Structure 1
Amino acid sequence: MIGAADGEPATEDGGAVPLGEIIAALDEAYPPSLAQSWDSVGLVCGDPAEPVASVLLCVDATSAVVDQAVDSGAQLIVAHHPLLLRGVDTVGAHTPKGTLVHRLIRSGCALFTAHTNADSADPGVSDALAAALGLTDTVPLDPLPGPTLDKWAVMVPGAETHRVRAAMFDAGAGRVGDYDSCSWSVEGDGQFRPLAGAEPAIGSVGALEHVREHRVEMVAARALRERVRAAVHASHPYEEPAYDLIELASEPSARGLGRIGELPRETTLAQFVDRVAQSLPATAWGVRAAGDPDRPVRRVAVCGGSGDSMLGAATAAGVDAYVTADLRHHPADEHLRAGGPALVDVAHWASEFPWCAQAASMLRAAFGDRLAVTVSGVRTDPWTMGASATE
């Protein structure tokens, strides 16, 4: 066990919450759409209609964690690593994982997984790791693109501007961050000539018309394009509304893998490695580093879990050190030969364990006294021993 404080319930059971409501909160914090295509996230077993009074957070749903959940009466385990990641054709009780699934179902305990979607969320796994190490002003190491947006510019006769703008807002346009009903307009001179077959709302066939119009501009999610287009046509007084539709370039978002941040003050690599060791739970793997012990360290990149795929991004970011897990010999060697930042390698489990407290805080904020939330103190790191030769 890690320690009593980590394993004790943080709230008293003040009622119960339908599992479906908890899933909705978890999906909002860690959107399933952020998961990698190969991943398996979400509800593994359990009934969304069943009430949940107690939740247990962990990195791995091992036998010991399931024992803790069942013995404590928890109705839900939220795990980071999927129990059933690879394709399976049986969860029979004769298999190790099938045994756990059967025990969970018999005990009325659901299992939910937030994996690579939690890795890329904002905040997510790497935010928790960065916070544990004391990094501030963090940004993604490998940011995901922001939402894809369209910019609409609709020309409307002045008297009808309010109606068209309102219809576009109702269709979902005009939302920017935490604001809605966002638009801009300018007045100008509109010109058109109705041709044979037209049924103009203003003017006559064959006659050139000049109308004082407003150019109404706003943004909308690209997924809403046809909905906004329909709203423009339905609300606009003209037979053929005039508008510009511009696809905006995506900007980097606050979501993505890894984080880059700064230490409160510059330190040496040797001192920073000690800081990492003191900030994360102890493991048999420990903390190992590659680089000059006296190298100055201030700007740091981190990536919870296996992060050697981010070595290039860490180098490109110009950081002094990169903290991750499961670094392999050849990628690390080639990285150092190329002059990349110092490397700090920790146990996979230790790099992701801080996320449990983050997810627990989110659930406490969402449900308060209705839900008892516990971070498991069971150490699920598979490595249990370590040794080094004496000189």
Structure 2
Amino acid sequence: MPSLEDVVDLVHGWYPPGTADSWDAVGLVSGDPEAGVSKVLFAVDPTLPVAEEAADWGADLLVVHHPLFLKPVHGIAPVTPKGRTLTTLLRAGCGLLTAHTNADQAVSGVSEAMAHALGLTGIEPLLPAPTVATDKLTVFVPRADADQLRVALAEAGAGRIGDYEHASFSSLGEGRFRPLDGASPAIGEVGRIETVEEERVEVVLPRRLRTQVVAALLAAHPYEEPAYDVIELADPGQAPTGTGRIGTVEPTTLAEFASTVARALPQTAAGVRVAGDPDRPVRRVALCGGAGDFLLDAVRGTDADVYVTSDLRHHPAAEFREHDGPALVDVAHWAAEWTWLPVVSARLADELGDTVETRVSTINTDPWQFRI
């Protein structure tokens, strides 16, 4: 049986907390990292009914999209909705983990799950995430000290490539030097040319970590004056992550596409609202899971025929349409983000096999109950 820490590490590996927006509150909210996990429930909102569902099912962990404590609180006594929710989970021994904006942009995240649910192909980020500026560091070290140096570089943050760490390349060679007066050589004598079997060690590192990686190199290297160089690497191009998604569907009309959206998403009282000519041809689709009117300008600059998102406000939507922008399809916030739950639930089940049982909450936490 995996521990809570094991499960959290998996989820954070897929949806790194460091990619969350600065205002967000993500990560493990409650739970003993050493506790075993055999049942995991997934939901959009950490409401009291969802917490009760988790407790009744015997879940060891509740994974939610929306944070329970996005704003600071002064207590968690069960006299407020948030307090009652957390108390219910604590009494049941169920941990709480939040993956919010860190799950929005990621591969297999919220917007990408929604894109697949709507049948998009050739999916790309609507607003690609900025790529990480990267350096390559090369250092020459006596062969006997190479392993220790590689460990020091890795602990300082170098050698991380995607899902791999401690990545490096080494080649053998000979180093030559002659210590001068005033030197305190680790190998050799002052005034005498020395030849040493050395390894050339190469690692990549985020440019923002350059100072600390070089400091770790200098601290771990046996030489008084080690030879090394740092090269800034070229921009690798568009990142696979980013805000929203854009892709292609089989040629259809706006009315037919809106019907597809309604069938693909869970039913809500708000339903699906559409702005545009019902007969408008639709092939290119842009979307954003959750509230997405902040992307309207970005959508206008694409070849999208329609933009699907939630919580569109009157004036931004009206002005967008006045400029002859793509058609708009507005869906319930909860319904759009719900499409991620089966994806992450299946992903965790595939990773952990039959050691963990996963389930998507059956509770509709959309705040709107009915319409007249």
> TM-score per shorter chain, which class?
0.7 to 0.9
Post-superposition offset of 1:204: 9.6
TM-superposed deviation, 1:281: 0.9
CA separation of 1:181 and 1:106: change in aligned 2, threshold 3 A: closer
Distance 2:242 2:306 in 1: 19
Q: Which residue of 1 aligns with 2:244?
A: 258
Is 2:213 the partner of 1:227? Answer: yes
Aligned residue number for residue 9 of structure 1:
none
Give, in angstroms, the shift of residue 111 of structure 1.
1.9
Tell me if 1:356 matches 2:338: no
**Structure 1 counterpart of 2:328, one-letter code:** L
The alpha carbon displacement at 1:44 in A equals 2.4
- 1:239 deviation in Å? 5.9
1:25 aligns with 2:10: yes
Percent of residue pairs identical: 49
Aligned to 2:110: 125
Confirm or deny that 1:107 pairs with 2:100: no
* Superposition RMSD in Å: 3.5
Displacement, 1:174? 5.6
Q: What are the superposed Cα offsets for residues 131-190 of structure 1, whole Å, 9 maximum, x if unpaired?
A: 10111222212222223311335689xxx7x789877754245655467756599x9xx9
Match of 1:346 in 2: 331
- In structure 2, do the counterparts of structure 1 residues 289 and 165 end up closer, same or farther at CA, with 3 Å as the change threshold? farther
Q: How does 1:1-391 map to 2 (within 5 A)?
A: 16-152=1-137, 169-170=150-151, 171-172=153-154, 173=158, 176-177=161-162, 219-222=204-207, 223=209, 225-228=211-214, 230-231=216-217, 240-241=225-226, 243-248=228-233, 250-251=235-236, 252-263=238-249, 265-387=250-372
Relative contact order: is structure 1 or structure 2 higher (C-alpha 8 Å, sep ≥ 6)? 1
C-alpha distance in structure 2 between counterparts of 1:102 and 1:175, whole Å: 39
Write the distance in 1 (CA, Å) between the matches of 2:219 and 2:52: 60
Taking structure 1 as the reference length, the TM-score comes to 0.79
| Uncovered stretches (5+) of structure 1, i.e. residues with no partner | 1-15, 206-212
> What is the alpha-carbon distance in structure 1 between the residues aligned to residue 210 and residue 9 of structure 2?
22
Deviation of the 1:255 alpha carbon: 2.0
Preserved CA contact (<8 Å) 1:164 1:232? no
Greater Cα shift, 368-377 or 162-171: 162-171
Instruction: Supply the distance in 2 between the matched residues of 1:61 and 1:44 (Cα, whole angstroms).
Output: 11
For 1:27 and 1:350, the matched residues in 2 are separated by: 24
AA aligned to 2:36 is P
Distance 1:214 1:374 in 2: 51
Contact kept in structure 2, 1:269 and 1:291, CA below 8 Å: yes
TM-score normalised by structure 2 residue count: 0.83
Q: Please state how far the C-alpha of 1:48 moved relative to its aligned partner.
A: 2.0
Deviation at 1:197, TM superposition (A): 5.2
Q: How far apart are the structure 2 equivalents of 1:70 and 1:221? A: 42
Q: Residue 28 of structure 2 aligns to a residue in which SS?
A: strand
Following superposition, the deviation at residue 75 of structure 1 comes to 2.2
Aligned residues: 364
In structure 2, how many angstroms separate the alpha carbons of the residues matched to 1:24 and 1:233?
Answer: 30
Partner in structure 1 of residue 195 of structure 2 = none
Q: Secondary structure at the match of 1:253?
A: coil
SS in 2 for 1:78: strand
CA contact (8 A) 1:121 1:256 kept: yes
Distance in 2 between the 1:178 and 1:32 partners? Answer: 15
CA contact (8 A) 1:81 1:113 kept: yes
Instruction: Summarize the Cα distance change of 1:266–1:232 in structure 2 as closer, same or farther, 3 Å threshold.
Output: farther
